[in-house]
Amino acid sequence: MIIRNADIFGKVSDILISGELIIQIAAAGALSGRLAGEHEMDAGGRTVLPGLIDPHVHLRCPGMEMKEDWATGARAALAGGVTTVIDMPNTKPATETASALDLKRAAASKTDAAGYPLGRLFWVGCSPDTLGELPGLLGEMDVAGVKLFFSESSGNNSSSDRAFVKAVFGAAADAGKPAAVHTELAELLELSAGVGLPELAMHGLRRPQSAAEAGTALVLELAAETGCIAYLCHMSTAAEFEMVRSHKARYGAESVIAELSPHHLLLNENHQVIGGPQSWAKVNPPLRTAGDNCAALRALLDGTVDLIGSDHAPHLLSEKDGRNAGGFHGCPSGFPGLETELGAVAGFLKEQSAEWRDLVSMLTNHNPARIFGLEDRCGIAEGKRADLVILDGPKIVDSGNFKTKAAYSPFNGMELQVSVYKTILRGKIIEQ
C-alpha cells in the first residue's frame, strides 16, 4: 500500500508499506506508478503522526465486561488514533497472579480474531498477599511494570504502607521496570467536606490536593531510596509538577516518569458539562483549578511531563448520569478517554506552539515507546511498524457516537481543533 501526500512533520511525502512495515518514505510523487488503484490512498496533505501509545487504560476485562471489553475498547482506541495500549490491573480478578494475567491475555487476544489486533502490554498489580508473585510477573515480556493504588479504585487492592511500597519498588528496580502509582493517600481524603459547593469543586475538596501531593512526596522519597523508576499517574497539581521538576534536577531526567491526562490539562473544577450531568466529569484525582491547568501546561512544555495517558475509565451510562441512588457523590469516578485524547491534546497544543506535531508525537509515541521498549513502532521511519494516524480538522465531540460502551464524556459538545481522519494499524486501514 502507498499513502500519498502525507504531511510528515512539515514535509509532504509518500509512504510505501509492505505487510506491517514501512519500507520506503519518498518525496510526494516519487513513487508514482507503483501499486496504483485499490492499494493506495491519498492523505490530501493531511498531517500524519505515529500511532498513539496510551500507557493508562482500563479496559475492564475480565470481570466488568458490561462497562467495556477488549473488542469495544480496541475499536475506541483505533477511532482515537491509539494503536497500542497498556492496560491497568484493577479488573476482577485483579491482575496480581500468573493465572489472572493469563485470563487477561486470553480476553485481549479475541480482538485479533475480530480484526482489531491492537498492540498491548499489561500493568500488573500487587497486594501484601501476592508480593511473592511480583518478581515472576515483572519478568514477563508483555508486562510494562507494576501499578499501586494508595486509595480505592474500581476492583483494586489499595495500600500505602511504607514497608510494602518499598518492597514493591525494590522488586521493580530489580526487574528494571517502572512502578506506577495512583498517589492520593486514603487517610487524607475528607469525604464529608465541601457541603454546599458546586459538585466538581466539592469533589475536589473531598479528595484534596494535599492527599495527592503527600502521596507523590512518598513515592519520590522511596524511589530515591530503592533506585526504582517511579511512574506518577495522572498528575494534577502545581505542587506535584514542581516536586517532579526538582526530583529530575537532582536524580536525572529519567529517574521519574510524569504522566498527564488530557482532562487535567484542559478542564478544571469550573467546567460545565454540555448535554449531560456534572457527574460525567467526576474523576479521581478530581479536576483541579485553573492555576493547576496553567502549571500542567508549563510542565508539558518544559519537559517535566513525559507522556500523555488518557486514563480511559469507562462506566455504565446509568451509573454516571444520576440514575444511581447516590446521585453525583454515589456515582463512580472516571470516564472514557481513548476517543478524545488526541483531539484534545493536539488541538490545544496546535494553538500553543508551532512545533505542536513534534510535541504531540514525543508525548504520545516517542517517549512511551522508549520507556516501555516499543522501539518497533516509534516514529515514522523505514523499518518501523506501520502504525499511523492521519489527522483532520475541527470536530465537535458527540459521545453518543463513541465506539466505547461508555457513551458519555466531559468533552461532549466541545469543538476540538484536531480530529482523526484514518488510523492505520499494522499496515492496514481500519474501517469502522
Q: Which residue do the cell numbers 476485562 mark?
A: 61
Q: Which of 161, 158, 149, 166 is nearest to 222 (CA)?
A: 166
Residue appearing with cell numbers 480476553: 107
What are residue 2's DSSP bridge partners?
16, 40
What's CA 256's distance to the chain center, in Å? 17
Angstrom distance (rounded) from CA 223 to CA 218: 8
Cell of 309: 495517558
C-alpha cell, 126: 500487587
Q: CA-to-CA distance for 146 and 95, rounded, in angstroms?
A: 10
- Please tell me the chain's helix, strand, coil percentages from 3-state DSSP, rounded to the nearest 5: 35, 20, 45
Residues identified as active-site: 311
Pairing of strands 256-260, 307-308: parallel
| DSSP strands (E only) in 241-368 | 256-260, 307-308
Alpha-carbon torsion, ordered 361, 288, 267, 185, to 10 deg: 60
Instruction: State the Cα–Cα distance between residues 389 and 404, nearest whole angstrom.
Output: 19
> How many CA within 13 A on the CB side of residue 380?
29
Q: Is 104 helix (H, G, I), strand (E, B) or coil?
A: helix
CA dihedral (133, 135, 138, 141) positive or negative = negative
